């Protein structure tokens, strides 16, 4: 009967029309057997169709090499450490010689975090290809040592936008668009395309949020379906939960983990491995208890207590057997691989006692995650010089000409990081002035370079009417200004200068000495640039333009002549620093700081 119905409907369309519509119209996909619909094809005609009786995933998803997949979900509470866990799993697999890639899927409806408040989201991490992504991608790159791309981060907003655009283009042939299968298909396409593009043997995908979040349900359903699509033997589910500690009884409680796993199982996913985060050591008997109630082997319950440094986590997971478990389930090399370099780094972290004091002057210091990559880059540089970072946070809004010397008196170096908007700018300018006049090493990142230029220009011109047009559109001396091609842009999302750009270094400058090469590539995220109308004036008054774009048009790095170490860069070097390979600018800044005795720590000589 079904075949007869199909024949009658096909007979209603002439052979030539049918060929035209077949060539120009994507096939309709639906799970519902025998459901009749009407849809408008790309030809503009209405055609009757009957949904196919079976679901053919191969026709809807990109063809890809058979990558294996690890899906990491979270339970009980957010911010429990999924990102560090994912990065650490990647480290263990890379030590085994596995080509691993990592991806983060965020259920929020923003297309990307680029327009989100730092207080809402923390740092926006920029990839080589200019994607504004979740800060967890910074952890992934730092731990695994691999540059990721825009495909490594997707959100509900991006997924839904893609589905809606396809519907507007008529790609669904008039079908009813549903969360399942259309949204889940788009999520699966995002996952499988990432694995294919990055040529990964294993793709680790973190699902943001916690199990039970309404906005996260399509992602959970999509990763459930992928197990069927690629084969159960090619998928591992890792669930990261939290064990709260009750002071009244001195116990770690497992009930929230049990409920979290029950919620996950109700959505069709049985975790293979459960990682239990806690602030206290987990007794051995709890592994058996959680394994019993959550239906996993006791050795697949991995304790992960809080450690002093996040870089210890791969070693903790390795000791608890995480690497061997995953290797066995995915048929990967069974040996533990070579973690000796990582072990040496952690041993050095533990052994270092002597500190170096650095002040970070910013406008979002209430949430330290806003400057996560800056903080980690400073740690990398300090460790390179066998020092422990003593970082103190200074809110730029609270700095005044009366208190700046007191607040920064103990700093051996000052960092002013990036940001947007006028709030706190004058405090950053005061910090730059203090560093210049006191001979304290200064590193300005993006906005930090701009305030360094503004401060020096004010001193040169003897006028306070010097600023960026971001903060004062009618300022007399706009030493920082929009590029002409940026002035007509109205949309905020994704319209800045984003991603990796080349920078030509000027010989015999501090920048050239740090890098040791003539040409580098660095990641950008900004709209405003140095105004070349002031290049000649400031170059005659102590500003050295030590890094330029390849055409010489844009100032990428500026230094203050005659200063022990005062440098600002228009890009974000913090995105390319690694724990075993600190960024050259951070490394040399830290060296200068080590050789600096801050005014506040100079001892009084006896009379």
Backbone dihedral region for residue 581 (phi beyond 0: left; psi -120 to 50: alpha; all else: beta): beta
Three-state SS for 23-71 is HHCCCCCCCCCCCEEEEECCCCCEEEEECCCCCCHHHCCCCCCCCEEEE
pLDDT of residue 117: 86
pLDDT of residue 394: 97
For residues 120 and 135, which has the higher predicted lDDT (pLDDT)? 135
Burial 492-520 (b: 16+ CB within 10 A, else e): eeeebbbbbbebbbeeebbbbebbeeeeb
Q: How confident is the model at residue 119 (pLDDT cuts 50, 70, 90)?
A: confident
The answer to whether domain 354-599 has CATH 3.40.50.880 is yes
Same topology, domains 68-345 and 354-599? Answer is yes
Mean pLDDT of 308-324: 95
Do the Cβ atoms of 435 and 414 come closer than 8 Å?
Answer: yes
Work out the percent of the chain whose per-residue pLDDT is above 90. 78
Mark whether 572 is an active-site residue: yes
pLDDT of residue 490: 60
Mean pLDDT of 54-83: 72
Catalytic residue among 206, 455, 574, 591: 574
Tens of pLDDT, residue by residue over 482-529, are 876 666 666 655 578 899 999 999 999 999 999 999 999 999 999 999
CA distance 391 to 210: 32
Mean pLDDT of 265-273: 97
Catalytic residue among 69, 121, 477, 572: 572
Can you list the positions of beta strands (E) in 420-472? 442-445, 466-468
Q: What is the mean pLDDT of the chain?
A: 87
pLDDT of residue 198: 87
Catalytic residue among 30, 194, 276, 446: 446
Tens of pLDDT, residue by residue over 180-227, are 999 999 999 999 999 998 889 999 999 999 998 999 999 999 999 999
Evaluate if residue 262 carries a pLDDT over 50: yes
Evaluate if residue 21 carries a pLDDT over 80: no
Evaluate if residue 476 carries a pLDDT over 60: yes
Mark whether 446 is an active-site residue: yes
CATH for 68-345 (3.40.50.11740, 3.30.360.10, 1.20.1250.20, 3.40.50.300): 3.40.50.300
Mean pLDDT of 380-393: 96
**Which pTM value belongs to this model?**
0.86
Do the Cβ atoms of 191 and 103 come closer than 8 Å?
Answer: yes
Please give the biggest Cα pair distance in the chain: 110
Tens of pLDDT, residue by residue over 416-466, are 999 999 999 999 999 999 999 999 999 999 999 999 999 999 999 999 999
Do the Cβ atoms of 273 and 85 come closer than 8 Å?
Answer: no
Domain positions in the chain are 2-55, 68-345, 354-599
Q: Where are the alpha helices (DSSP H) in 70-147?
A: 82-95, 118-121, 136-144
What are the residues whose beta carbons fall under 8 Å from the beta carbon of 369, sequence distance 6 or more? Answer: 122, 123, 135
Mean pLDDT of 244-252: 92
């Amino acid at each position: 009967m079904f075949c007869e119905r199909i024949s009658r409907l096909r007979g209603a369309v002439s052979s030539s029309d049918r060929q035209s519509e077949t060539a120009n119209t994507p096939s309709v996909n639906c799970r519902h057997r025998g459901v009749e619909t009407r849809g408008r094809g790309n030809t503009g005609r209405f055609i009757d169709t009957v949904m196919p009786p079976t679901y053919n995933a191969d026709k809807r998803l990109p063809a890809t090499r058979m990558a294996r997949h690890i899906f990491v979900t979270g339970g009980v509470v957010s911010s429990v450490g999924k990102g560090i866990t994912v990065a650490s799993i990647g480290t263990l697999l890379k030590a085994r010689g596995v080509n691993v890639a990592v991806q983060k899927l965020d259920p929020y409806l923003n297309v990307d975090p680029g327009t989100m408040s730092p207080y809402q989201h923390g740092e926006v991490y920029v990839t080589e290809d200019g994607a504004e992504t979740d800060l967890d991608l910074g952890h992934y790159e730092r731990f695994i040592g691999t540059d990721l791309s825009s495909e490594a981060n997707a959100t509900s907003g991006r997924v839904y936008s893609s589905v809606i655009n396809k519907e507007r283009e008529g790609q669904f042939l008039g079908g009813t668009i549903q969360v399942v299968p259309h949204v889940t298909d788009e999520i699966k396409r995002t996952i499988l395309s990432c694995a294919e593009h990055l040529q990964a043997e294993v793709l680790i995908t973190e699902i943001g949020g916690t199990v039970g979040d309404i906005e996260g349900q399509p992602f959970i359903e999509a990763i459930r379906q992928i197990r069927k699509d690629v084969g159960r033997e090619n998928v591992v589910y890792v669930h990261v939960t939290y064990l709260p500690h009750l002071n009244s009884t001195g116990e770690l409680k497992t009930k929230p983990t049990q409920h979290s796993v029950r919620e996950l199982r109700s959505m069709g996913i049985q975790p293979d491995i459960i990682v239990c985060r806690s602030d206290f050591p987990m007794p051995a008997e709890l592994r058996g208890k959680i394994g019993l109630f959550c239906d996993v082997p006791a050795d697949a319950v991995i304790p992960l207590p809080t450690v002093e440094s996040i870089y210890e986590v791969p070693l903790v997971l390795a000791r608890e057997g995480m690497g061997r478990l995953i290797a066995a389930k995915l048929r990967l090399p069974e040996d533990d691989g070579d973690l000796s370099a990582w072990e040496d780094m952690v041993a050095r972290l533990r052994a270092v006692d002597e500190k170096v004091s650095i002040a970070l002057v910013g406008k979002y210091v209430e949430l330290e995650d806003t400057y996560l990559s800056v903080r980690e880059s400073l740690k990398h540089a300090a460790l390179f010089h066998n020092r422990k970072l003593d970082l103190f946070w200074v809110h730029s809004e609270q700095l005044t000409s009366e208190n700046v010397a007191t607040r920064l008196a103990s700093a051996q170096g000052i960092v002013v990081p990036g940001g947007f908007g006028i709030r706190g700018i004058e405090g950053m300018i005061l910090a730059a002035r203090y560093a210049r006049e006191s001979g304290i090493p200064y590193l300005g990142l993006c906005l930090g370079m701009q305030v360094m230029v503004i401060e020096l220009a004010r001193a040169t011109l003897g006028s306070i009417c010097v600023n960026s047009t971001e903060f004062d559109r009618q300022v007399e001396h706009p030493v920082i200004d929009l590029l002409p091609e940026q002035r007509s842009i109205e949309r905020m999302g994704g319209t800045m200068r984003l991603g990796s750009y080349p920078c030509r270094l000027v010989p015999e400058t501090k920048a050239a000495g740090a890098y040791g090469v003539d040409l580098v590539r660095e990641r950008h995220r900004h709209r405003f640039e140095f105004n070349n109308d002031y290049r000649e004036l400031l170059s005659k008054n102590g500003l050295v333009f030590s890094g330029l774009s390849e055409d010489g048009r844009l100032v990428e790095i500026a230094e203050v002549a005659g200063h022990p170490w005062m440098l600002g860069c228009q890009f974000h070097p913090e995105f390319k620093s690694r724990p075993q390979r600190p960024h050259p600018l951070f490394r040399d800044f830290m060296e200068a700081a080590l050789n600096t005795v801050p005014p506040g720590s100079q001892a009084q000589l006896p009379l």
